[in-house]
């Protein structure tokens, strides 16, 4: 990595990235994704996947329980709204801290094992959290109904104002909905990306890649892999908590289903789709999945008919019939198929595809940076 | 001065006695070989020294530090490096990164949360690593993925990794196993060269050619017991050793 | 004591399902070395075999009764399933017994599904890391689920047990307790016996046939068996098909207990993985024992007496056991030393 990276280059990447994120409302509009609600989701899940990638992409430890940290972040944020007031900043900070502590506890235990056993341990902890949030922890989580901010809550710092109107978090008088909500998340995403970029380029980052590559050699090189993996686990848990709190910025509601293992599975899908171990991949994966979820699921037969209206009738009907399997309710089918294709043919995800294409055009056979960082799938 | 002193080490696996009251000492600055037929307990012995296995009884002293009960990474941090039978390297990383990791381990210790510093700005580590790669003749391949190296080159890389830590003691477990004659000779030359730096080396070896071209002192292990010890030329003629090697056809 | 017995029985039927799924998972892991996240889906597909069979049988013909009229003067329509029209009493019997009878459909269907899955996909992942295997089978599970959802809808489809096997039996009476103390649904008893039979059949097959011997040898030491010149690949396919059939049968017979929907497989998969880990990766008796054990533990944990002392324990007991086992004895209850242990 040191060969092809330089501070100047990273700065350029970072500036382009930041500019791209901030202008998303403009350039995503033509594909129908230019509305704040979806953009905010892109930013939040991008952050979630970026954090997950710091663990899985670098160390190769596949956690199937990251949704638990997302949930903890959400619950903490809502409690912060309830007790302290609707300012998102304490909510975000407290959520990161709470998720970090939670991740420290779970990581400390789970990291005693590696490989599939680690995956199952994290899965077990997340499922326990989910089940408990639904049942005995109801006083904290409000069970099935989900936790929301009520008018009667103390809200120490702003109980006086906002007697009427919808309950939305407010930063310096700006309500965090619509584009304000998106830009708040976008700024945090950019900060999160910056930190991830630094970790990738740091001595710590290379140690994490050493964990994935050869733990035995690492141990005999005078390095203890455990605190490295634990630190990565906690950091990625904090990212998840951060994402969880942002989910509550515009809609201050936290439900247990956010902790279910399918949600953990989703972030795995995002990271792999985009390209684990690359900086940009997880963000692409998150964007793609959220885009599918929102745009593809809204397609119906009529939209399809209008898209394929150029076809002669005898062709149009079967084509629309076939396509309708993959959109609307069936968007997850598209996702599943896409995911399988990626795992089978492009284990490095979209980023590997991009770099292969790039090489094709350039005609050079040098492996690119994206290729190098790719999931050479957990060295077990 | 003795840099390594092993006293009264026993190790059993179930009913099998792998090491039987082994006493062993290495003089600082020498090359000491441990030889013995298959199953003699050489690898068990090495693993007991390096912290991978815990001896049932006995002590392993490194200078005035007791290595018994220490974790492998702690043992490395006090100055003991190890070369494996099959080269253990970071196959997903470039050669330069491979050498930078041990360099940093030596400088920053067992764990350091350097998450915000840029590795490519760390000239100290980079220069040292490059220098080590030059030493073993791999400098021009520094940006290659180490997984694609030949076995001989992997061995060189592993040596560079160990040497970058300036170890006081280097343990080599059959450093030429599975190598071609040419690679073996290259490795011997390399080991001779780094011998000049005064690093104490313990070599476990099958290949007598390697042993006799490197070692100043040889210890012969058979069935978990030390049966002979001395200069290479004395060992060659020792009847007990020849018997242990089934008539000494090897020698 | 009676309460104890009742809880024991309550845990057994669920334990039976866990055991059957875990048995297949272990068989696949032990021989093929593949971690199959799509195994729960096979359970679900089995359940939908039962539904399909029932739907086929219930296809109705509509006939107009020439003589009778409805009260408002139109001709009376008589609806009658084709099977009853064609086969008479036997058809009626078949419809009544559609759940157990669909086993006959499920065996070949599941075997084919297993065959296709192994040849088409799993085969290519033998030498890929476990993480890749998990991911690709996870993707496959999503795809199969979605296809089932498109075909059968998202809502659970209840199935009913045959008339004679519905309702509850007072088992306590047989055991000499007072009437009404241990009352247990008959179908769950049937399920339990069925699970026992399937497990026995699998073990007998592995124990007493040459094929089974090779498979067991393969589980113990894959490389050596390969070196013996035995065509291990073909056997892998058959093993996978058997595992698919076992999971499918577990699903078929479970339909009267839990109305199947498209994602029931995932719910069972997570638990079955825990079962496999608790039993020990690669240990068949371990999988079966852990399946029943966890089923029973879960049932005991849901007793009010226990919940009063440890609130919420019923929700987490299985995972808690898994965590403890993984930390204390990573090879599981009956796993061999060194299998996936680190």
Helix (H) or strand (E) run with residue A253 in it: strand A253-254
Whether residues B44 and B162 fall in one domain: no
Contact B101, A206 (CB under 8 A): yes
**Given pLDDT bands bounded at 50, 70 and 90, which one contains residue C337?**
low
State the average pLDDT over residues C111-118: 94
Tell me the per-residue pLDDT of A180-201, one tens digit each, with 9 for 90 and over: 889 999 999 999 999 999 999 9
Q: What is the mean pLDDT of chain A?
A: 84
Whether residues B159 and B193 fall in one domain: no
Q: Does A366 touch chain B (CB under 8 A)?
A: no
| Mean pLDDT for back-to-back runs of 10 residues, chain B (251 residues) | 87 83 88 84 84 85 87 91 90 93 91 82 89 88 89 89 91 83 83 77 84 86 85 81 61 42
Chain B CB contacts of A204 under 8 Å are 112-115
Tell me the per-residue pLDDT of B135-191, one tens digit each, with 9 for 90 and over: 888 889 988 999 998 888 898 899 999 999 989 999 998 888 777 888 888 888 888
State the average pLDDT over residues C207-234: 76
* Topology (CATH) of A7-260: ABC transporter involved in vitamin B12 uptake, BtuC (1.10.3470)
Residue A81, pLDDT score: 87
Whether residues B30 and B44 fall in one domain: yes
From the candidates C25, C26, C124, C135, which should be mutated to test the interface with A, based on the most A CB atoms within 10 A?
C135
- One DSSP character per residue, A124-180 reads HHHHHHHHHHHTTTHHHH-GGG-EE--TTS--TTTSSS-SSS----EETTEESSHHH
Inter-chain touch C150–A109, beta carbons under 8 Å: no
Interface pTM (ipTM) of the complex? 0.89
Residue B250, pLDDT score: 46
Token pair, residue A135, equals 């049942």
Closest chain B residue to the Cα of A374, Cα to Cα: B92
Tell me the per-residue pLDDT of A121-171, one tens digit each, with 9 for 90 and over: 998 899 889 988 888 888 888 878 888 887 777 777 776 555 555 577 777
Chain A CB contacts of C277 under 8 Å are 117, 120
Give the number of other Cβ atoms within 10 Å of residue A358's Cβ.
13
Whether residues B145 and B161 fall in one domain: yes
Chain C CB contacts of A330 under 8 Å are 146, 149-150
Residue A3, pLDDT score: 46
Facing A222 at nearest CB: one of B50, B77, B114: B77
Chain A CB contacts of B145 under 8 Å are 367, 372
Q: Does B142 touch chain A (CB under 8 A)?
A: yes
Closest Cα to residue B142, out of B100, B80, B194?
A: B100
- Cα dist from A10 to A7, A194, A206, whole Å: 5, 10, 16
Contact A210, A218 (CB under 8 A): yes
Whether residues B5 and B75 fall in one domain: yes
Chain B CB contacts of A205 under 8 Å are 115, 119
Whether residues B127 and B149 fall in one domain: yes
B151 is a domain residue: yes
Q: Is A255 exposed, middle or buried (0-12, 13-18, 19+ CB in 10 A)?
A: buried
Taking the CA of residue A223 as centre, how many other CA atoms within 13 Å lie in the half-sphere pointing to its CB? 31
Chain C CB contacts of A216 under 8 Å are none
Inter-chain touch B110–A222, beta carbons under 8 Å: yes
Tell me the per-residue pLDDT of C292-327, one tens digit each, with 9 for 90 and over: 999 899 888 888 777 777 777 777 888 888 889 888
Structural domain boundaries, residue B64: 1-79+167-251
State the average pLDDT over residues C3-14: 81
Tell me the per-residue pLDDT of C150-162, one tens digit each, with 9 for 90 and over: 888 888 888 888 8
Chain A and chain B share a number of CB contacts under 8 A equal to 132
Q: Does A122 touch chain C (CB under 8 A)?
A: no
Whether residues B21 and B2 fall in one domain: yes
Cα torsion C84, C85, C87, C93 to 10°: value is: 10
Distance CA A36, CA A182 (A): 6
Closest Cα to residue C58, out of C94, C30, C23, C32?
A: C94
Whether residues B100 and B149 fall in one domain: yes
Q: What is the mean pLDDT of chain C?
A: 83
Residues 197-236 of B with CB under 8 A from A: none
Distance CA A271, CA A185 (A): 19
Residue B128, pLDDT score: 92
State how many domains chain B has.
2
B89 is a domain residue: no
Whether residues B172 and B161 fall in one domain: no
Whether residues B182 and B251 fall in one domain: yes
Contact C83, C12 (CB under 8 A): no
Question: Could you give the percent of chain A with pLDDT greater than 90?
Answer: 41
- Contacts with C252 (C-beta within 8 Å, 6 or more apart), sequence order: C46, C47, C49, C50, C99, C102, C103, C106
Residue A160, pLDDT score: 57
Tell me the per-residue pLDDT of C164-192, one tens digit each, with 9 for 90 and over: 777 777 776 676 667 766 777 888 888 88
Choosing from B138, B166, B194, the residue where a domain stops is B166
Q: Does A114 touch chain C (CB under 8 A)?
A: yes
Q: Which spans in chain C are helix H?
A: 2-32, 39-57, 82-87, 89-96, 98-120, 130-152, 171-175, 186-208, 210-220, 222-227, 232-254, 264-279, 284-301, 304-309, 313-328
Residue A372, pLDDT score: 39
Question: Could you give the percent of chain C with pLDDT greater than 90?
Answer: 21
Distance from CA of A41 to the nearest CA of B (A): 27
B35 is a domain residue: yes
Chain A CB contacts of C143 under 8 Å are 333, 336-337, 340
Distance CA C113, CA C111 (A): 5
Q: Which chains touch C (3 or more CB pairs under 8 A)?
A: A
Residue A376, pLDDT score: 35
**Given pLDDT bands bounded at 50, 70 and 90, which one contains residue A379?**
very low
Q: What angle do CA B57, B63, B66 make, to 5 degrees?
A: 35
Q: Does A321 touch chain C (CB under 8 A)?
A: no
Q: Does B121 touch chain A (CB under 8 A)?
A: yes
Choosing from B140, B166, B192, the residue where a domain stops is B166
DSSP character at residue B72: H
B139 is a domain residue: yes
Whether residues B52 and B24 fall in one domain: yes
Phi, psi for residue A121 in degrees, rounded to 5: -60, -45
**Given pLDDT bands bounded at 50, 70 and 90, which one contains residue A20?**
very high
Distance CA C187, CA B201 (A): 73
Pairing mode, if any, of strands C183-185 and C168-170? Answer: antiparallel
Choosing from B166, B198, B225, the residue where a domain stops is B166
Q: Does A32 touch chain C (CB under 8 A)?
A: no
Going by beta carbons, is chain A in contact with chain B, meaning 3 or more pairs sit under 8 Å apart? yes
């Amino acid at each position: 990595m040191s060969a092809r990276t330089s501070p100047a280059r990273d700065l350029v990447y970072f500036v382009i990235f930041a500019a791209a994120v901030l202008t998303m409302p403009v350039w995503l509009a033509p594909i129908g994704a230019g509305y704040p609600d979806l953009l905010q989701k892109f930013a939040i899940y991008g952050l979630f996947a970026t954090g997950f990638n710091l663990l899985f992409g670098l160390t190769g430890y596949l956690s199937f329980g990251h949704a638990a940290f997302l949930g903890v972040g959400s619950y903490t944020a809502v409690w912060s709204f309830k007790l302290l007031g609707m300012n998102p900043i304490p909510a975000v900070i407290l959520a990161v801290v709470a998720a970090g502590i939670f991740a420290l506890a779970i990581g400390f235990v789970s990291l005693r094992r590696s490989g599939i056993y680690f995956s199952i341990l994290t899965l077990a902890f997340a499922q326990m959290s989910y089940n408990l949030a639904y049942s005995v922890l109801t006083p904290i989580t409000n069970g099935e109904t989900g936790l929301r901010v009520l008018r009667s809550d103390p809200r120490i710092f702003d109980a006086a104002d906002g007697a009427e109107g919808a309950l939305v978090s407010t930063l310096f008088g700006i309500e965090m909905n619509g584009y304000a909500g998106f830009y708040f998340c976008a700024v945090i995403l950019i900060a999160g990306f910056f930190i991830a970029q630094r970790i990738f380029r740091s001595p710590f980052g290379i140690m994490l890649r050493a964990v994935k590559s050869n733990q035995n050699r690492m141990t005999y090189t005078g390095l203890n892999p455990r605190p490295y993996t634990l630190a990565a686990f906690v950091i990625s848990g904090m990212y998840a908590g951060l994402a969880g709190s942002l989910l509550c910025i515009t809609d201050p509601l936290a439900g247990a289903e956010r902790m279910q293992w399918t949600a953990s599975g989703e972030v795995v899908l995002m990271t792999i789709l985009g390209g684990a171990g690359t900086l940009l991949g997880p963000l692409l994966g998150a964007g793609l999945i959220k885009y599918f979820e929102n745009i593809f699921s809204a397609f119906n037969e009529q939209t399809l008919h209008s898209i394929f209206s150029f076809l002669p009738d005898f062709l149009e009907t079967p084509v629309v019939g076939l396509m309708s399997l993959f959109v609307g309710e069936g968007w997850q089918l598209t996702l599943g198929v896409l995911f399988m294709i990626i795992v089978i043919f492009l284990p490095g995800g979209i980023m590997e595809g991009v770099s292969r294409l790039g090489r094709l055009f350039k005609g050079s056979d040098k492996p690119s940076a994206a290729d190098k960082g790719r999931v050479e799938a957990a060295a077990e | 001065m003795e840099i390594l002193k092993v006293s009264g080490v026993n190790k059993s696996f179930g009913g099998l006695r792998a090491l039987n009251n082994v006493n062993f000492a290495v003089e600082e600055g020498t090359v000491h070989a441990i030889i013995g037929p298959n199953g003699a307990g050489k690898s068990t012995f090495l693993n007991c020294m390096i912290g991978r296995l815990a001896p049932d009884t006995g002590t392993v002293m490194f200078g005035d530090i007791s290595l018994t009960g220490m974790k492998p990474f702690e043992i490395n941090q006090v100055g003991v490096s190890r070369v494996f039978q099959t080269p253990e390297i970071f196959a997903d990383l470039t050669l330069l990164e491979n050498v930078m990791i041990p360099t940093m381990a030596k400088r920053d210790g067992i764990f350091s949360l350097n998450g915000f510093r840029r590795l490519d700005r760390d000239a100290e580590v980079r220069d040292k690593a490059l220098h080590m790669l030059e030493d073993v003749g791999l400098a021009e391949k520094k940006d290659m993925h180490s997984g694609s190296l030949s076995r001989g080159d992997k061995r060189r890389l592993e040596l560079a990794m160990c040497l970058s830590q300036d170890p006081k003691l280097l343990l080599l477990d059959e450093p030429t196993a599975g190598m071609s004659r040419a690679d073996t000779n290259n490795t011997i030359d390399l080991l001779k060269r780094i011998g000049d730096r005064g690093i104490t080396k313990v070599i476990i070896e099958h290949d007598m050619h390697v042993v006799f071209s490197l070692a100043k002192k040889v210890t012969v292990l058979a069935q978990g017991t030390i049966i002979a010890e001395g200069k290479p030329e004395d060992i060659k003629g020792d009847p007990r050793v020849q018997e242990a090697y089934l008539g000494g056809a090897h020698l | 004591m009676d309460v104890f017995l009742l809880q024991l029985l309550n845990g057994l039927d669920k334990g039976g399902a866990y055991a059957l799924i875990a048995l297949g998972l272990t068989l696949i892991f032990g021989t093929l070395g593949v971690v199959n996240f799509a195994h729960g889906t096979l359970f679900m597909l089995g359940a939908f075999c039962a539904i399909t069979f029932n739907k086929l049988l219930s296809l109705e013909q509509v006939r107009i009764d020439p003589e009778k009229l409805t009260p408002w003067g139109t001709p009376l329509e008589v609806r009658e399933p084709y099977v009853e029209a064609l086969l008479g009493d036997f058809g009626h019997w078949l419809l009544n017994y559609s759940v157990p009878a669909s086993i006959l459909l499920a065996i070949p269907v599941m075997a084919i599904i297993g065959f296709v899955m192994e040849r088409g996909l799993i085969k290519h992942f033998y030498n890929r890391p476990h993480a890749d295997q998990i991911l690709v089978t996870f993707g496959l599970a999503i795809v199969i689920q979605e296809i089932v959802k498109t075909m059968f809808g998202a809502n659970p489809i209840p199935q009913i047990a045959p008339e004679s096997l519905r309702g509850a039996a007072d088992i306590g009476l047989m055991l000499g307790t007072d009437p009404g103390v241990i009352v247990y649904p008959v179908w769950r008893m049937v399920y339990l016996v069925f699970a026992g039979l399937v497990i026995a059949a699998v073990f007998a097959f592995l124990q007493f046939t040459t094929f089974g011997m090779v498979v067991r040898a393969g589980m113990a030491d894959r490389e050596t068996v390969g070196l013996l010149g035995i065509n291990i690949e073909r056997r892998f396919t058959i093993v996978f098909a058997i595992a698919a059939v076992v999971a499918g049968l577990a699903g078929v017979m479970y339909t009267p207990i839990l109305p199947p929907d498209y994602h029931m497989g995932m719910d069972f998969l997570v638990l079955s993985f825990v079962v496999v880990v608790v039993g020990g990766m690669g240990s068949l008796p371990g999988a079966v024992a852990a399946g029943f054990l966890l089923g029973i533990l879960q049932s005991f944990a849901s007793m009010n007496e226990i919940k009063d002392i440890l609130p919420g324990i019923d929700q987490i007991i299985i995972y808690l056991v898994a965590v403890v086992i993984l930390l204390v004895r990573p090879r599981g209850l009956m796993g061999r030393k060194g299998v996936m242990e680190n």
